[in-house]
Amino acid sequence: MSQSYSLAMKRQPLGLKLLIWGFISLWLVIAAFPFLWTLWGSFKMEPDFFSKADWFNAILAPRTIEEHGTAFIGDGYHGAWVQEEFWKAVINTTLVCFFVVCTSLTIGTLGGYALSRSSYRYTFWLLITALIFRAMPPITLVAGYLLPFFEWNLWGHLTTTVIVLVAINQPFTLWMLHSFFQKIPKDLDESAKVDGCTQFQAFRHVIIPVMWPGVITTGLFSFLLAYNDFAVTSMLLSKENQTMVPKIASFLGTTQTEGNVMFAVSAVVSATAPLFILVLFFQRQIVSGLTQGAVKG
Amino acid sequence: MKHSSFFWFILPTATAMLLFIALPIISVLIQSVHTPHDAVLIETENCGPFGCTTATTIDQEATRALRDEKPLGKFVGLDIYFDRGHLAIDEVAETWANADSLGQFFSDLNNLPFYRAMAFTLTFTFSVTPLMLVFGLMIALGVNALHQRIKGVLIFFSLLPMIVSPLIGSLVLFWMIDSRGIFGSALQWLFDDPDLSLKASTGLTWIMLIVYGVWHAAPFSFIVFYAGLQTLPQDTLESAQIDGASRWQQVRYVIVPHLMPLITFVALIQLMDNFRVFEPIVGFNSEAHAASLSWFIFNDLGGETRLLSSAATSSVLTIIGVSILLTPVLIRTWRDFNAKS
Amino acid sequence: MFLKKLTLAGAAILMSGSAMAACNIDGRVSIVGNEFPAIHAVADGAKACSGGEVKANLTADHQKINVAGMTGNPAEYTSAIIANSSIVALMNEDVIRPLDDLVAKHGQSLKPNQLIKINGEVMAVAFMANAQHLVYRSDVLEKAGIQPPKTYEDMLAGAEIIRSKGLMQYPLGGAYKAGWNLAQEFTNMYIGHGGEFFKPGSAEVSINNAQGVATLEMLKALSGYMNPDFLTHDSNATSAEWKAGNVAMMNMWGSRMGPLKDPEQSTAEVVATTTLAAPMTVGGGSTPATTLWWDGWTVAKNVSDADAEATFLAMMNGINPNRLDDEMAPLAVWLIDGYEPTPAAVGVFAAANMNATPYPMLPYQGLLHTALGAEIVDFMQGKESAEKALADVEAAYTAAAREKGFLN
């Protein structure tokens, strides 16, 4: 289907083609430039990349050349990965993301499926309540968790953070999955139930095999939320359990120490690299996933 | 679906939300109508590296007795909601009485933190949301019209503004827009004004925050709309073409109606997120020019003396604000829901 | 007097030799605090103890978690590292314990001025001092033909000369970022003008007066010679401006002086001519327009006596005079026995010798600080009058103080 649509669009007059190319190129520059700039700068010294005298220093790197004899240095990466043990944060992030995505999808799938298959009024109100829940600012939630978590000795653990991230992101997950399930024809599981399956058996044998595209897309959003989260992870994790984003923030701190800023820049670049691979790998699923269900307001 | 099976299916997710969102909301509601007890202050002599001074401090014994008696604090009803830091009822009434003209009234109103924050938040919300929807749609249409092979790379680079962590925004972007940074210098050259600084004036700061907001959020609408385009029924589009519809008409009468549910969804999420705008304000150090309810909460909780009741009240006001903002969309969803069942 | 005590102490260390006392503890130690290098050094010293587990969570968000982390019983954190402004929050919530017995038992090496006494009880042990003071570029001042300023009025006049001679467009610097930083500058300047923040013996604010107006006018006049983005410049950004050679004079934290004098971080010209000086006075007053700060550690109330003792011992090891080596000494102006002032400490010592005022340790000072940081911004941007801005500060403070129960 997407093929034929693209074909239809291929019959474009030259002017339109140029316009599209021009617009997309412009967008790519706007979208990617700050990142590419950071990537380039991560191999410089701080006084060059953050030069207050002339931004051109970030390109020519006079001080870096003066001090190191070359315009490209890996000091930032060495400092972040070896000296500050950024790899520990990478492992923690991997753990948090993996468990957040799994838990979030498991309970979200069950809930989203139920919401899409029940036509009682309360499903509507449940969805609205979930939306109102999402309106609560995360910083307030986190500030509220601190006291009980410290009291019950739950603070600082990865498990606690995973559960909190799952819970906070449930409204979004639920809305998205609910929309996906609505696009899966109800006849499928209804006929299974006629054949004598329970609701859960119908879900397990009929729905699970066809739900993956939608689930994978929702999973990607859950993943990004967990990966990028700062509000929760910075407040609820102890030093040794820190994930990447709070770790990067700790390189900066309130008192920026020389060199540490470049650790942060290098770490940000390092943290984005896996996402590149992930998006390339999943881009077909993202698209086909949304294709299957599409989110429906 | 039967009530009982519905119950078991929804139980895990409902439990998670009840424990971690509903309970905190209830405690925040309670907190917002209570304040700490009146502090019993005593005069003491404090000494340190720089000598001794007479100062006041809290009498812990006396205060503890009050606290043990009523652990929630002092019930104050809606006092905090109406105080100067929030709805400022008295101050607004006074302003109204003293203002010579409507313009005067609004300019005086702008002196109160809540209304000033609202002015920015609403401007931000209602510029970023439509802009990011339009922008996202344009990118989606554009990328969709390009060759299949390069789409993977295109999608990755288009997603970058969303996935590059906000930290980099506060560090690299803040420097780039400095008057000596690459964007700042470019703008000075473009407008031929060597004194132009994005960070120094309120208007330019707002524009900067809005541009950042659109840049940051456009990938979200792009990816959702792009996926939506893949499900566009081909026959509808073809029949429109046969009827001689121009490309613009195809977009206007075929593509946009098809994407409408997605547009509603994105608008819903974005209205909510933009109303709670927070990270760019802190990231760009623009506290002097822009504030939001979320920033108030951050400020109340981050000070040397934390204002818990005030933060709770701001949180409740955020929820109320979001509810008001979403009402039109929700009414629409309600109609759809009823039409369906 | 302050200086004399420290130099005397310096002599003491030479005699005490370098016998590193082994630190053995029997209990749990968990530290929460800010994350600048000097605090890391202290925490590392505490971690060197054997016999018990020593953990440290040093983060910029420490103020958001220390009260919660010390409230439970047993408390997660057995020690919080705080400053004279932030000890108040711990005192208000009653989560730290008096240290008199532990000081008597294990604190013989502490100097009397390290003990922070509140209401007669030792509540914290201070280990470093800090203050804002003047820094100037001697070469620029020489070119402009001006003397290093003793007062803010001199500074203004000097800035005008530097500008009119075309040496620099924005010769002044300062951490004037809206919020905490700007409020701190107001506090300095208001103290320099001899102002009192509160009506004596009460939590009622009184800054809308002649000193308050003069303070604001001075801040505004100074900002006219600063980079127009001054309301977004915190100490990091201001230091960066300095290192780039864009600024000739500024009032800056003593703790930031090390990096400014570091040849690796700036051009040789800037490093060589960066000169530290005493804080300035203002408005003909004799009290310097600055505040003295200390950083210190506390011990949690809700922990067992064994853990409290272990914590005390570990923290004592963190500030053990024997640890003051070439690496640790330049990190701060230490109050520790045996500290010999480094060149970067000149300004802070000058501030102490001028009898600068310590930052007020009042339960409600933080509320006023927050209100100042938010409400004087309009004045700095020229959007309202000084009196109006001060009235707004008072109104904002009053609302907050009412909520906290300091005012009725």
Cα C45 from Cα C308, distance rounded (Å): 17
Query: Which residues in chain C have their CB less than 8 angstroms from residue A54's CB?
Result: none
Contact C35 A51 (CB under 8 A): no
Tokens encoding C168 = 């620099």
- B79-126 per-position pLDDT tens digit: 999 999 999 999 999 999 988 889 889 988 988 999 999 999 999 999
Phi-psi region of C58 (alpha: psi -120 to 50; beta: other; left: phi over 0): beta
Interface check A139 vs C, CB under 8 A: no
Domain shared by C112 and C46, yes or no: yes
Q: Which of A187, A152, A173, A156 is nearest to A295 (CA)?
A: A173
Report the domain count for chain C.
2
Given the structure tokens 């506290």, which residue do they identify?
B287
Chains that touch B (3 or more CB pairs under 8 A): A, C
For the entire predicted model, the pTM comes to 0.90
Asked, for residue C122, whether it belongs to a domain, the answer is yes
Contact, C231 vs B288, CB < 8 A?
yes
Question: What range defines the domain where residue C74 resides?
Answer: 2-129+293-354
User: Which residue, among B70, B115, B305, B314, would best test binding to C if mutated, counting the most C CBs under 10 Å from its CB?
Assistant: B305
A146 contacts on C by Cβ (under 8 Å): 64-65, 68-69
Q: How many residues in chain B? A: 341
**For chain A, which residues make up each domain, given as ranges?**
1-36, 42-73, 79-292
Q: Quick check: C407 and B40 in contact, CB under 8 A?
A: no
Does residue C186 sit within a domain?
yes
3-class secondary structure, A117: helix
C212 shares a domain with C87: no
Residue B271 · residue A40 · CB < 8 Å: no
- How many of the other CB atoms lie within 10 Å of CB of A233? 27
CATH dotted code for B112-280: 1.10.3720.10
- Residue among C63, C231, C367 minimizing CB distance to B288: C231
What mean pLDDT, rounded, does chain B reach?
Answer: 88
Residue A193: closest CA among A183, A184, A206, A181: A206
Contact between A235 and C266 using a beta-carbon 8 Å cutoff: no
Distance from CA of A241 to the nearest CA of C (A): 11
Q: Which of residues 129-158 of B touch C (CB under 8 A)?
A: none
Please report which confidence band the pLDDT of residue B167 belongs to, taking 50, 70 and 90 as the band edges: low
Going by C-alpha positions, the residue among C260, C259, C279 that lies closest to residue C353 is C279
User: Of A52, A234, A256, which has the smallest distance from its Cβ to C61's Cβ?
Assistant: A234
3-state secondary structure of C276: strand
Q: Cβ A238–C55 below 8 Å, yes or no?
A: yes
Look at residue A281 in the predicted model and tell me its pLDDT: 76
User: Confidence class of residue C334 from pLDDT cuts 50, 70 and 90?
Assistant: very high
CA–CA gap between residue C398 and residue C405 (Å, rounded): 10
Q: List the structure tokens of A48.
A: 């060059």
pLDDT tens digits, one per residue of A95-117: 999 999 999 999 999 999 999 98
Say whether residue A277 is in contact with chain C using an 8 A CB cutoff: no
Chain B residues in contact with C358 by the CB 8 A cut-off are: 48, 50-51, 53
Tens digit of each residue's pLDDT (9 = 90 or more) over A127-170: 889 999 999 999 999 988 988 999 888 999 999 999 999 999 99
Tell whether C105 is covered by a domain.
Answer: yes
Gap between the Cα atoms of B288 and B323, Å rounded: 28
A141–B contact, CB cutoff 8 A: yes
Which helix H or strand E contains B56, and what residues bound it? strand B51-58
Assess if residue C399 is contained within a domain. yes
Q: Do the Cβ atoms of C381 and B304 come within 8 Å?
A: no
C-beta separation of C395 from C376 below 8 A: no
B74, closest residue in chain C (CA to CA): C405
What does the pLDDT read at residue A181? 86
Find the helix or strand (DSSP H, E) in which C136 lies. Answer: strand C121-137
Tell me the HSE value of B276 on the side-chain side, using a 13 A CA sphere. 24
Q: Provide the 8-state DSSP code for B169.
A: I
Cβ atoms C287, C194 nearer than 8 A: yes
Residues C381 and C266 in one domain: yes
Residues C123, C117 contacting (CB under 8 angstroms): yes
Residue C250 belongs to some domain of the structure: yes
- Cα distance from C19 to chain B (closest Cα, Å)? 27
Give residue C202's pLDDT: 87
Q: A256 in contact with B at a CB cutoff of 8 Å?
A: no
Which residues of B fall within a CB distance of 8 Å from A120?
3, 6
**Same-domain pairing of C149 and C278:** yes
Tell whether the torsion through CA atoms of B74, B80, B85 and B90 is positive or negative. negative
Q: Is B174 helix (H, G, I), strand (E, B) or coil?
A: helix
Task: Report whether the peptide linkage leading into residue C74 is cis, meaning its omega lies within 30 degrees of zero.
Answer: yes
Q: What residues in A contact B5, CB-CB < 8 Å?
A: 114, 198-200
Contacts of A271 in chain B (CB under 8 A): 165
Whether C110 is in a domain gets the answer yes
CATH number at residue C92: 3.40.190.10
**C300: its two tokens:** 């949690």
**Rounded mean pLDDT of B266-284?**
90
The 3-state DSSP class for residue C286 equals coil
Q: Which residue of A has its CA nearest to C68?
A: A147
Beta bridge mates, B46: B53, C118
**CATH 3.40.50.12280 applies to domain A79-292:** no
Could you state, in order of their start, the residue ranges of all structural domains in chain B?
77-101, 112-280
Q: Is the pLDDT of residue B162 over 70?
A: yes
In DSSP terms, which residues pair with C131 in a beta bridge? C292
